[in-house]
Chains A and B, each alone.
Chain A
């Protein structure tokens, strides 16, 4: 039933060292991504969800870097076999008895060969703004085949064929002609499809999607989400979906991680997050969204008071303390709540559940 672990993140800390001070963008995050499953990371702007994703691929922008923690990548056999011909594994290489090799991505050199072989091949990423993340001066075909040629030994013709096949698969009409078009000639939805085709070109084990539908319209969003679900069934990759839209989470996720100010507030399967939320932040977040059909009958939305604190002035103790309705003076502002396990893969960081 439980599918094998693909990525294990343990106590990840990614900090940005700026002149004004250190921004602890990600500060002690733990979670697990399973093979073939969809994990949604949800949170408001500045909660560190994108930086977590970028840390996995070691593409955190300067002056940020991973200062602590492990990102253990359990490489599936299929990809190990493909890669072993080219380079020997990292320090945690394959043991004799276990067939999966485990690589600590956090320990790899961000500019090194190992991580570059993983990017695009094992783990690929799609971004929020398809216009800014595609090169405006290269054709669509060029950009897709670049990844293919880099990671496989396909010839130009074969790579073109493969790219056409991928474009057809992501629902782009007349893919043969589209190969020679530039991104500006495509609509927003089409560009996002090209991004997805590019990301899937090497059949990755994990697809990281950072707000893939935030910049597109609702009907296009429905198309893209549907496409991602279909592709997951077909290619079998795990998806790490980063979003701030709880509706998207409810539609897509198997597991959910709720983040607040660089830390995990709560994690668990999608049903318990939506129907039995434990952390006060998750509870108020769910109450503050207008829901179709329901919100007409209600006079006011419950909102969370105050705002997300300034990253330079983080509150002491629990990060959510100053905005929390269950704030316990003397305790919540003194201790940063440790993870409290409520079951398998179900954790909440809140002192309210300390005795349970």
Chain B
């Protein structure tokens, strides 16, 4: 518990450092989500998968924050906790209400959550599973409007038509069912549904991962355009660093339920302070065959640690190139290394890690 309180202190410095720069829309503090592992006839709990283990970060009004990491790092769980699709194990999620007050979404009941569900919306990864195949597009996009009594009848139809037009679909198609659309078009429907209630925060969970290259660029551009038009704030969850770099203002790197690094995108990619971030950047294949020889790719040993049974000390130490004795014993805290740049590594100051230079080479 000692660890938690120090983390809390750390976070308050974080806030005072950067909150002045803008208006904090979402402030996540010491968020925890543990899933029980049960066994036996009585489903006794024998342990926990610490999917998200004590993470703190904030999101400013109008910015795009990326949550990046490998499968099992807790980035999706963190996104779903913010939507309160899961009940929290611990921590607070402060969301700025319309009147500027910060409300903790954590303890709210389903009924109390209702007004906030209009303001925090989600775009899902798989455009095939996230749309009900038995509902026509007008119902998929229009139901949130109906349920929240925003519009009905002819007005609803007009509203849906304008939403569809805005995401680049022809309004005449609103009576069609999802199967009549391609992957990219379905993702547009998903985006229209997320935008139907004029949300303030949109959590996009791997929103372009299932799409083809040429369509992915269209959707990324659309997501950017909509942000300008509707003054949206995004939390963009992805494993794809090149997409993250393109779309995000700030990036949160996660590893096995913990945050290992937070920084502005440019700074994170140019000068990472955590060895895991360095390895992630190095692992991204560079789409230029002439870079092949120059690149000294870091290949990590082994697999991502098991969140039910994480290693001691720093969770990354069994795979780290720069591991020292201290790493297996003490858990590093997320510390501010340079202004606005946080890393959880004992040796962040001493290591000189390679980032990606502007020309795409590894510096």
Contacts and interface: CB of A to CB of B under 8 A. Distances in A.
A, B assembled together: yes
B212 A244 contact: yes
Contacts of B221: 300-301, 303
Given A218-B241, A250-B292, A290 B220 contact: yes
B357 interface: yes
A220 B284 CA distance: 11
A333 B285 CA distance: 37
Interface string B186-219: 0000000000000000000000000011111110
B289 A44 contact: no
B36 to A, nearest CB: 21
A147 interface: no
Interface in B81-121: none
Interface stretch (B9-17, B299-307, B321-329, B340-348): B299-307
B151 interface: no
A270 interface: yes
Given A45-B212, A222-B297, A226-B299, A303 B217 contact: yes
B245 A218 contact: no
Contacts of B266: 296
A274 interface: yes
Contacts of A302: 217
Contacts, number: 154
Contact of A300 (B215, B224, B240, B285): B224
B297 A226 contact: yes
B269 interface: yes
A219 B285 contact: no
Given A292-B269, A301-B217, A247 B359 contact: no
B64 interface: no
A246 B358 CA distance: 19
B70 interface: yes
Nearest to A249: B287
A303 B218 contact: yes
B158 interface: no
A271 interface: yes
B166 to A, nearest CB: 17
Interface stretch (B19-27, B42-50, B275-283): B275-283
B103 to A, nearest CB: 34
Nearest to B219: A303
B289 A247 contact: no
A309 B226 CA distance: 26
A122 B165 CA distance: 54
Interface string A277-305: 00000001110111111111100111111
A247 B183 CA distance: 22
Chain A CB within 10 A, most for which of B221, B303, B361: B303
Contacts of B265: 296
A99 interface: no
B361 A293 contact: yes
A295 B280 contact: no
Contacts of B285: 221-222, 225, 245, 247-248, 250-251
Contacts of B241: 218, 292
A247 B284 contact: yes
B286 A301 contact: no
B288 to A, nearest CB: 6
Given A247-B287, A295-B245, A217 B304 contact: yes
Contacts of A217: 70-71, 239, 304
Contact of A251 (B242, B286, B361): B286
11 contacts: A218-B284, A220-B303, A222-B282, A274-B288, A289-B217, A289-B242, A291-B242, A291-B286, A292-B242, A292-B360, A304-B218
